[in-house]
Structures are given as structure tokens and as C-alpha cells.
A and B are shown apart, each in its own frame.
Chain A
Amino acid sequence: MSPIITAIVVISALTGGLTILLLIAEFFFANYGEVTVDVNAGEKTLKVKGGANLLSTLASQKLFLPSGCGGRGSCGTCKCRVVDGGGPLLPTETPYLSDEERKTSVRLACQIKVKNDIKIQVPEELLSIKEFETVIEKITDFTHDIKGIRFKLPEGETIKFKAGQFANLFSKPYDEVREETSRAYSISSAPKDNKAIELIIRYVPNGMVTTYVFKHLKEGDKVKLIGPFGEFFLRDTDREIVCIAGGSGLAPIRSIILDMIDRGISNRKATFFFGAVTKKDLYYVEEFKEIEKNHPWFRFVPALSRDDSDHPYSKGLITDVVASNYSDLKNMEAYLCGSPGMIDACEKVLTSKGMPKTQIFYDKFS
């Protein structure tokens, strides 16, 4: 054997041996034992095995913080206040935290290793978030790039959510995606329909989860969902309502309208402007027309921006259609769901007609 090959073999053996020694050492010596996670000043006390990151530690105890990247430190959404025991702020957290958040001990849960007792504060509503192992009951092709999916919850389980909120859907590893990945989608079903969740999903070219949904999911498959999340829901006022949505943004608006029917809210007029490009991009039209027929307080206005065919719908950009329907919006409130571009354009129109920004609520897809 040449001296070079001998040297390579010896170095490889030494490196391998050291790696094994390190792993053994970590197993025996880096055992943090049982630690306590105090949530919201004693509201919940979790006894957990130390060593994992805070996000996964909390998830193992069925306490779910919002996370767009599944704990890879790349989305910055799993924020919580760490009152004590979180250790120093890490460089991997700083890009995602504002000065105010740093001052108030806000941290990224996915970056903090739970090594000792720790005290955290999370928004109250997060304590009611649950994980569901669902089964796909039905997949409906609404348009060429939008599907509706109904997920049946496990027998005996129910979900409590506010119409307008969203859930995180998890894709399993597939093709080159080697890890479970999650993305947020608005719930389109009514809160009363609490043994299932319906989501409306638009295909995103090269999207990791939507590609999984469109190319791999089929009826009968098991899928993990966590929710509900979000601050987009109908406010408890008497104001007339203007709802505006485009594409899959119809989802939370549908949930809100169905919920108004279920709760018998008939003292508030509501108009739903649904923008699409051509007729083939419209869906749920029959359902909303039926609601309009049965509930005098509801009006449905689909609008097509580029369809010269003979159709009964409004013509033009949804912003122009909304503008042409109102002269003064100061006593109404608006619920918008769609792309950031659509939301910004709608907000300009609504405020130009007198609607205060405090009466405009939106789910900006971000």
C-alpha cells in the first residue's frame, strides 16, 4: 500500500473514531434531563426532556407556534417572548427581530435550545391550536390552478375556529424535498362544520407544498394540519360589509358568509366582489348566487377583467367595479383577501371613498 493511501486510511479512521466518540460523549454528557417550560406565568407547566429546540419541544407538548418553514430558521414566524432561561440572542435570530422585539425579549423559538428551565409568554389563542391527522375526503378542481380540498378530522375530534382564520398544511417528503414542509391556507368551510376543514389552494409554480398538493395528494391520503391561526375574522359591529377577493382569496370570505348565515346575522348588509380574469377562473358562483337568492342582506358581484365573451358578470378590474358601486364608504367595513397587489389597490379605492383604514381588514397572503 502506498504511503499516501495509508495516510488517507489512517486519517479517515481517526476522523471516524473521533466522530463516534463525540456522539457517545454527547449522549452521556449533554443530557439536559427533565426541564420545566412555564407558559404564560404558570397557566401551563410543561415537563419536557431538554436538548431540543423550543419550537419542537412545544410542538411535542401540543403547543403550536406559527411556523412557515417548519423550524429551519428561515421564516421568522415562530416568535414568542422568553422571559427567563433562553440564553443570549443568537445571530441567526437577529435578522428576523425588530428593535422593539429585541428589547421585549422576543425570540425565535426554533433557534433556542431548551437546556434548562425556561419561562415563555405566548398569545392566549395559541393555547387552543391543535394538530390533526386528517384524511382527504374530497378534492375538487375549481379552475385550472385552484383546487378545493376537504380534510376529514379523526373520529370524535372537532375544530373550533373563527371564520377567516387559516391552518398550516404539511407536505410529506417527496422527490427532492427531503423534509416535511408546511404552508398556511385559509379555511373556506364554516366553523359550524367542525368535523372537517376545507381549504382552497392555488398552484404556485415551483411551490414546495402546492406541488405536493397538485401532483401527489389524492383522496384517502392522510395529511397533517395544525390550526387555527390568524387575526382575519369578522368584527362584531353593525356596519355594512364589503368583501373583496381574487383567486383562492375567496376561501376566508366564503367561511365568513357561511358563518353569518349559521349565526343568523341578517342585520348587516354584505356584498362580495369576486375578481377573476375570465369565466374559467370563476368558481363557487352557483353557491353564492343561491345564498343571494335566499338571504336578502347578501349580494354577490363577480367581475371579469379580460373576458370579451357574452357574460352576465361585471366587467373590468375588481377595484374599478367596487369604486363604481359606492360613493361613500365611511360607515362600512371591508374584508379583503388576495395578493398584496390586489389588497393595496383595493385599500386605495376604499380609502378614497372615505373608508377609514381602521375599518379595513385583510389577509394579505404573507
Chain B
Amino acid sequence: MKQTPELDLVQSKMQPGVLTLKGFLGSDDRKLADILVADQQSFSRLGITPLQAAERLQQLADLGADLMEEEILVEQRYRIKVRDDRGKIPSPWGDGLFEKGDVDLIDNSTGETLKWNRLTLRLMSVHGFCGGVDSEYRLDPEKLMRILDLKPEAQS
């Protein structure tokens, strides 16, 4: 994948202080095209898809919605808390505005955590962007597969 001028523009909007305080990349200094390719390869190797992961995360988020930030235990395993905040956040790809608010998940069986919101789900499912390697909202394919018990699509 080439780092096109369009991806340059998207990556410029992912920097800290442009659309969000900390940006989308953490300390990841790779070109956006390289980040996308690396995660695409991880998903392929694992046999799962970004859409599959996003749908599972959305399903879990829906279970915690309407509880006004109360934590809920789901499937006797996940502690989920959905926080809503005022306002909307734009996609760095310029393809929409997404309501703010984070979902925090703790896997009680391992203590591992995941954090996402409506925008980061969109970035993963539509653009294949999972966040810079150490960014706060990183949705690492392997971690997703492990925590969410995702099965390779052919086997599911």
C-alpha cells in the first residue's frame, strides 16, 4: 500500500492536538500506510476480520448502554462501563461525526482491558485502522481475538 497524499492528510489529522488531545497514533512513527498494512496482515494471519471484531465490540457496548455509566457484568466475564460525553468527534478520514464517549471493558478472567468508542470502531471496521501501537485506544487484532474469543471466520 502506498502512502498517498490522501493518507498524508489523514495522518496529519491523527496528530495530537488536531482532532483529539492525544491523537490516534501514540508514539507510532510509521507511515499510516504501513500501520494499515501491518494490521491487515495480522487480521489475515489470525483468520478474523475487523468487521467481525467491531460487531462483537458493538454488541458488548450495547449491553452497557442506557445504564447511565453504571458498570455491568456481561457473560459472567466482562465488566463493561459505557460513558457518554457531550459533543461529536470527527473522523480523520472526513467521513462523519461520531458521538463522544468511551466503552471500558475489563476481562475478569485475565485482567486485560480494552477501550473503544464509536469513532474507533468505525476506523477499524471501515478503514482497517486499529490505532498506533501504543495509543490509548489501540484495538490490537491479537488482543481482540484473545479477549473476545473470536474464531477464524471459516470456523465460525
Residues of A within 8 A of B (CB): 68-69, 73-76, 92, 95-96, 175-179, 183-185, 202, 204-208, 211, 246, 248, 275, 277, 305-306, 317-318, 338-342, 344-345, 365-366
CA distance A345 to B84 in the complex (A): 13
Cβ contacts A to B, 25 pairs, < 8 Å: A68-B88, A74-B13, A75-B90, A76-B90, A76-B97, A95-B95, A175-B17, A177-B17, A183-B86, A183-B87, A202-B85, A204-B86, A204-B100, A206-B20, A206-B22, A208-B20, A208-B21, A211-B21, A246-B68, A277-B68, A317-B67, A339-B85, A339-B101, A365-B85, A366-B88
Which of B16, B68, B87, B136 is within 8 Å of A366, CB to CB?
B87
Q: Are A341's CB and B21's CB within 8 A? A: no
Interface of A is mostly: loop
Digitize B63-103: 1 where CB-to-A-CB distance is under 8 Å, 0 elsewhere.
Answer: 00111111000000000001111111010001111011110
Residues of B within 8 A of A (CB): 13, 15-17, 19-23, 65-70, 82-88, 90, 94-97, 99-102, 136
Which of A275, A318, A366 is within 8 Å of B86, CB to CB?
A366
Please name all residues of chain A whose beta carbon is closer than 8 Å to the beta carbon of B136 when the two chains form the complex. 206
Which of A92, A96, A305 is within 8 Å of B68, CB to CB?
A305
Q: Are A178's CB and B82's CB within 8 A? A: no
Q: Are B17's CB and A178's CB within 8 A? A: yes
Which of B82, B87, B97 is within 8 Å of A341, CB to CB?
B82
Which of A179, A185, A277 is within 8 Å of B69, CB to CB?
A277
Closest beta carbon of chain A to B10's beta carbon, Å: 12
CA distance A68 to B100 in the complex (A): 13
Q: Are B97's CB and A248's CB within 8 A? A: no
Known: A206-B136, A246-B68, A275-B68. A176 touches B21 (CB 8 A): yes
Q: Which of A208, A277, A317 has the most CB of B within 10 A?
A: A208
Q: Which residue of A lies closest to B21 (CB)?
A: A206
Q: Which residue of A lies closest to B23 (CB)?
A: A176
Please name all residues of chain A whose beta carbon is closer than 8 Å to the beta carbon of B88 when the two chains form the complex. 68, 75, 366
Q: Which residue of B lies closest to A76 (CB)?
A: B97
Seed contacts A96-B97, A176-B15, A275-B68; 6 additional CB < 8 Å A-B pairs: A68-B88, A74-B94, A75-B88, A175-B17, A338-B84, A365-B85
Q: Are A177's CB and B21's CB within 8 A? A: yes
Q: Considering the complex of A and B, which 9 residue pairs feature the smallest CB-CB distances, nearest first? A: A339-B84, A365-B86, A74-B90, A176-B17, A177-B17, A176-B16, A206-B21, A345-B66, A204-B85
Please name all residues of chain A whose beta carbon is closer than 8 Å to the beta carbon of B16 when the two chains form the complex. 176-177
Please name all residues of chain A whose beta carbon is closer than 8 Å to the beta carbon of B87 when the two chains form the complex. 68, 183-184, 204, 365-366
CA distance A366 to B118 in the complex (A): 13
Q: Which residue of A lies closest to B65 (CB)?
A: A341
Please name all residues of chain A whose beta carbon is closer than 8 Å to the beta carbon of B66 when the two chains form the complex. 341-342, 344-345
Closest beta carbon of chain A to B24's beta carbon, Å: 11
Please name all residues of chain A whose beta carbon is closer than 8 Å to the beta carbon of B95 when the two chains form the complex. 95
Q: Are B67's CB and A306's CB within 8 A? A: no
Known: A95-B95, A339-B84. A317 touches B70 (CB 8 A): yes
